[in-house]
Amino acid sequence: MANQPATTFRIARAGPASLAAAALGALVLAILAALPAFAGRELIQNLIFVFDMLALAQCWNLLAGQAGLISVGQQAFVGLGGYLLFALTIMAGLDPLLAIPLAGGVCAALAFPAALIVFRLRGAYFAIGTWVVAEVCRLVLAQVKQLGGGTGTSLPPAVTSGVIGIEGIKTLFDVRTPAARDILSYWVALALMAASFALVYAIQRSRRGLALGAIRDSEAAAASLGVDIASVKLSVYVATAAMTGMIGALIYLQKARISPDAAFSVLDWTAYVIFIVVIGGIGTIEGPIVGTLVFTLMQHYLADFGAAYLILLGTLGILIMLFAPRGIWGFVVERYDFTLFPTRRRLFVEQRREGENRRIP
């Protein structure tokens, strides 16, 4: 140990950019939480939609980008979550705020039998299998006459206006009941969105996350090193089902009207979500944020074009998949080696002031 090396090495996940981003993220969350105090109702409503889509995208990203489970049937859990909210509030008389986590729990429980079926299919066939399961859910719920059958039903005003906390919000912000409902939904959406990020981040930094990465890179090698592939995949599938179910419950609390065709729509709850993840950058935590920004802008300015807009979305998705499969964020990472949510261990060489951060293979 006589000769000290000229440079020192450190292995860590977080770099300066990520630490700054963590501080910034906390600040953004705090600002968003306080936003209803000064923002108008339209902005709040738009942001609810943005948070819902971002949370759904983060869930799909975890499934497809991390666990390699490419599902085109996540609308099953959005719809189930929505219908569970209606059932629990209308039939069981529960408060919606209580019904949302409960809907998530039931979705997680239902994910086990669903997994029993779809996990028998591999790869691309898994994708279509999940779609069949979603169709089965849609057709079964269309048979439930108490929830309006094929035409659907609405939440009675007593349920939507009687949510715990609405009176408090009304006096706090001096607003009417509908605006207070929006603010409450906004906070729940913000919380769910933040929770989806926390879930993905926590999983990625845990042993499970390492196992997931190993499975994604080589299933055979992972299995030979003792990774229990079935259990890791199952846990991710169940966790995203719970999260997706809660988001679905919130979406339909806000909409206050549900029908089987809308609740289990493959376009609204899966195609858009896939588009967001692919455009933003699949497999990264940051990708869905970028994708949601792009999608929200396009939705805002182009959705009126109807079919032509959807053709544009499909074409963009295909072009990105062919020519920039890592998406916009993937491009940023490749170019600048920059990350906001550090999940990989990297080698930092201390002597140089910046850059040169090489990832440990």
Q: Which residues bind other proteins (CB under 8 A)?
A: 64, 68, 70, 72, 116-117, 120-125, 127-129, 131-133, 135-136, 139-140, 142-143, 266-267, 271, 274, 278, 282, 306-308, 310-311, 313-315, 317-318, 321-322, 325
Task: For other proteins, give the closer residue by CB, 190 or 279.
Answer: 279
Task: For other proteins, give the closer residue by CB, 327 or 342.
Answer: 327
Residue 175 tokens, joined: 């607003």
Task: For other proteins, give the closer residue by CB, 70 or 98.
Answer: 70
Cα–Cα distance for residue pair 79/241, rounded to 1 Å: 11
Cα–Cα distance for residue pair 339/36, rounded to 1 Å: 30
Instruction: Report which of 44, 108, 119 is spatially closest to residue 80, judged by C-alpha positions.
Output: 108
Transcribe 231-257 into DSSP letters. HHHHHHHHHHHHHHHHHHHHHHHHH-E
Q: Which residues contact 361 (CB under 8 A, 6 or more apart)?
A: none
Task: For other proteins, give the closer residue by CB, 65 or 104.
Answer: 65
State the greatest distance between any 2 C-alpha atoms of the chain, in Å, as a whole number. 82
Task: For other proteins, give the closer residue by CB, 55 or 133.
Answer: 133
CB of 310 to other proteins, least distance (A): 4
CB of 239 to other proteins, least distance (A): 21
Instruction: Report which of 44, 38, 58, 73 is spatially closest to residue 186, judged by C-alpha positions.
Output: 44
205 burial type by CB count under 10 A (0-12 exposed, 13-18 middle, 19+ buried): middle
CB of 268 to other proteins, least distance (A): 12
Task: For other proteins, give the closer residue by CB, 141 or 290.
Answer: 141
Kindly tell me the number of DSSP H helices and DSSP E strands found in the chain.
17, 5
CB of 245 to other proteins, least distance (A): 20
138 burial type by CB count under 10 A (0-12 exposed, 13-18 middle, 19+ buried): buried
- Return the sign of the alpha-carbon dihedral for residues 139, 143, 146, 152: positive
Report the run of H or E that residue 82 belongs to, with start and end.
helix 75-86
Task: For other proteins, give the closer residue by CB, 249 or 313.
Answer: 313
CB of 191 to other proteins, least distance (A): 30
Task: For other proteins, give the closer residue by CB, 84 or 142.
Answer: 142
CB 56 within 8 A of CB 269: yes
Task: For other proteins, give the closer residue by CB, 229 or 310.
Answer: 310
CB of 284 to other proteins, least distance (A): 14
CB of 356 to other proteins, least distance (A): 30
CB of 270 to other proteins, least distance (A): 9
CB of 311 to other proteins, least distance (A): 5
Report the run of H or E that residue 210 belongs to, with start and end.
helix 207-217
Cα–Cα distance for residue pair 172/212, rounded to 1 Å: 45
CB 62 within 8 A of CB 236: yes
Distance spanning both ends of the chain, measured CA to CA? 27
Angle of CA points 351, 352, 355, to nearest 5°: 140
